[in-house]
Amino acid sequence: MKRISIYLFLTFLCVFGIKANDSKSPVDYVNPLVGTQSKHSLSNGNTYPAIAMPWGMNFWMPQTGKMGDGWSYSYDADKIRGFKQTHQPSPWINDYGQFSIMPTTGKPIFNENERASWFSHKAEVANPYYYRVYLADYDVVTEFAPSERAVMFRFTFPESNNSFVTIDAFDKGSYVKVIPEENKIIGYTTKNSGGVPDNFKNYFVIIFDKPFTYVSAVADNKILEKQTEAKADHSGAIIGFSTKKGEKVHARIASSFISPEQAELNLKELGNNDFETVKANGKKTWNEVLGKIDVEDNNIDNLRTFYSCLYRSLLFPRKFHEVDANGKIIHYSPYNGQILPGYMFTDTGFWDTFRSLFPFLNLMYPSINTQMQEGLVNTYKESGFLPEWASPGHRDCMVGNNSASVVADAYLKGLRGYDIETLYKALLHGAENVHPKVGSTGRLGHEFYNKLGYVPYNVGINESAARTLEYAYNDWTIYKLGKELNRPEKEIQVFAKRAMNYKNLFDHETKLMRGRNEDGTFQSPFNPLKWGDAFTEGNSWHYTWSVFHDPQGLINLMGGKKEFNTMMDSVFIMPPLFDDSYYGTVIHEIREMQIMNMGQYAHGNQPIQHMVYLYNYSGEPWKAQYWTREIMDKLYSATPDGYCGDEDNGQTSAWYVFSALGFYTVCPGTDEYVLGSPLFKKVTLHLENGKQVIINAPNNNKDNIYISSMTVNGQPYSKNYLTHEQLLNGAVIDYKMSSTPNKERGTEVNDFPYSFSKDEKF
């Protein structure tokens, strides 16, 4: 009888599913090691375990790579060199304001190679709010738990008269001072990879709960016994004490970009809390933020992947502001070096994140993006431009003027309470100018673009076709925002006209986008498989679909829906051939496309990530349903190799989060979320306005990937999109899933999502 009861109970769980937080909280599903099995030649995410608070100013991580190496943590590494405060958004941009701390025993060691200790993932615990690892060479367990601007370490030492902690302030100019009578170490680091004013410093303070019996300063790798201060290219310090077996030593650490005094203020984030309380507070914070999306399903692998991607979507852009002694928000400006009032965020590239990361914030976390918009106002006031890639200031990276999308989508989605007039002024300025020192900020080639309707291929401006396509979309977002702000018709019609500039690059012979010379002739010879050149980290097969605002216009150029769908199908049918001659080597983005066995589809990079959703505009929505599930199932997992290319500051993760919900933002600036295939049996979105969106697909499984029918608030629904207003008002969306496609649903023109040339007359 007992056996039968157990059998029935297990059957019940399998049939009806397990709610994500019945046995675990959302953060328990997160694996911060996803994407860390990466290297220069092949990215499985190019991430590191970011132990941090959501959007926190400082992240902490175990450091396996050498000082200055962008791959600062690799899953395949055997040794840890230290535990680093990091602000790195990607290995290609690298880090700034970093320093590290490392416990050792035996003798004082500073050299990072000599002090490195063997470790094993079997003795490693990584959660977003807590990290623990065993350093085998020293018999020391290291743990740490952060707040937004501070962190607490706990070292468990063996019995030793020679237990040490090394503080490494890194090279390129640093300072460290030990204050033994206060068990304190202060200092600063200036190490960076660009984007900072001349007076940039990250000031830190470290306070231990155990008196020092050994002190030395370090200057340029030379250990200075009994000295307490060092200012050099590469400074550091080593402190020591005698420990009993199992003795726990705590270090409380905070930093500031403003001043040493502000670092001390930031240390107050830890209060008088002990380690377990700091850890518990961090877990609570993450659960509150992750818990905005409540998933119910019996596929634990999908739950782990979903919440790991959600965690990655909530890290960047990071806070770069601090709270002064009067409780006021202030920041060190990475643009002019001054201490100024107000919010500042950084470490994101809009070329990546305009696509779905920022729209995701607008839907689920609008209050934080409202602060980010305030930060953009300050960026414009302090530098004369909105950022395109910030880390911490303007960085020369990627193409496009996609700050226009980030600003417009937020306001058009209803965010308020910030100076939108200044941001609109900033968009107008950025559309007609380029930063004098940072070519990726503003619009490089705007003179040609405004005169000819495209950036020419043969005038010495690389990636000209990619720039043209993105500028055209950016112009559409400016037009939409200007219209919402009741700007003069004459002013906004300029941008409406330029929004159609994508047509100037369409080659009717190949049905693809193609570089075009100043005299109007197309680039020749033309190889649509050539990466780079006229395009950015992709080829013509990837960028041709970058007409976010007017898919119907692109369909018309290709000759109609049938031809359009054939071209879409061809992306997956073609072999993964490529021409790498522009780069002179196989860059990692090319390799990642080649090895995925999905033809020319290159999900590991951003330009094509929206493409499969375009079937909703061309009468074959079931293909969007098939391919979104195929991509989620094949290219994502909660493992160290869980991405198929660079994660890129939450964008590739936000694609998965949106897609798992069953829809995606093809065109930020519209109010539409274009349908794919929901992944889970039930999801509840807890919106900030107090409303809920409930997404039900009870017969969902690996076979039932197609939408047979759906209702919204109990009414039959045939459209291939949901609107922002529908979701914001609260909604119950019910899907009936099937293993075979319904080729009748969503095929009428009235069911198709927005296209500029179809839905608006201008």
CB atoms within 10 A of CB 478: 28
Residue 10: which pLDDT band, with cuts at 50, 70 and 90?
very low
Q: Could you tell me the two tokens for 248?
A: 């726990």
- Tell me what the mean pLDDT of segment 206-232 comes to: 97
Instruction: Give the model's pLDDT for residue 22.
Output: 57
Q: What would the mean pLDDT of 303-326 be, rounded to a whole number?
A: 98
pLDDT of 13 strictly over 70: no
Residue-wise pLDDT tens digits, 413-470: 999 999 999 999 999 999 999 999 999 999 999 999 999 999 999 999 999 999 999 9
Q: Is 428 helix (H, G, I), strand (E, B) or coil?
A: helix
**Model pLDDT, residue 23:** 72
Tell me the β-bridge partners of 675.
663
CA 230, chain centre distance (Å):
37
Residue 9 has pLDDT above 80, yes or no: no
d(C-alpha 605, C-alpha 655), whole Å: 12
**511-535 residue pLDDT tens:** 999 999 999 999 999 999 999 999 9
Cβ proximity of 266 and 254 under 8 Å? yes
- pLDDT value of position 14: 42
On the question of pLDDT at 5 being above 60, the answer is: no
Residue 468: per-residue pLDDT: 98
Beta bridge partners of 253: 151, 206
Residue 286 tokens read as 């993450």
* pLDDT of the residue at 759: 73
Integer Cα distance of 135 and 105 in angstroms: 10
Q: What is the pLDDT of residues 93-105, one digit of tens each?
A: 999 999 999 999 9
Q: Which helix (H) or strand (E) holds 493?
A: helix 489-498
CA-CA distance, 185 to 205, in Å (whole number)? 6
- What is the Cα–Cα distance from 486 to 469, expressed in whole angstroms? 26
Predicted local confidence at residue 760, as pLDDT: 72
What the block records as the tokens of 266 is 């930031």
- Whole-angstrom distance, CA of residue 561 vs CA of residue 41: 39
In tens, the pLDDT along 534-553 reads 999 999 999 999 999 999 99
With a cut of 50, say whether residue 4 has pLDDT above it: no
Q: pLDDT, tens digit, for every residue of 616-658?
A: 999 999 999 999 999 999 999 999 999 999 999 999 999 999 9
| 134/140 Cα distance (integer angstroms) | 6
SS3 458: coil
- For 348-388, write each residue's pLDDT tens digit: 999 999 999 999 999 999 999 999 999 999 999 999 999 99
Task: Look at residue 609 and tell me whether its pLDDT is greater than 70.
Answer: yes
Confidence of residue 761 (pLDDT cuts 50, 70, 90): low
- What is the reported pLDDT for 8? 41
For the chain, what percent of residues have pLDDT higher than 90?
A: 96
Write out pLDDT tens, residues 110-169: 999 999 999 999 999 999 999 999 999 999 999 999 999 999 999 999 999 999 999 999
Q: The whole model's pTM is what?
A: 0.96
C-alpha distances out from residue 522 to 154, 509, 543, 579, 743, Å: 63, 11, 16, 19, 39
Whether 19 shows a pLDDT value over 90: the answer reads: no
Mean pLDDT computed over 480-489: 98
**653-693 pLDDT, tens per residue?**
999 999 999 999 999 999 999 999 999 999 999 999 999 99
> Mean pLDDT across the chain, nearest whole number?
96
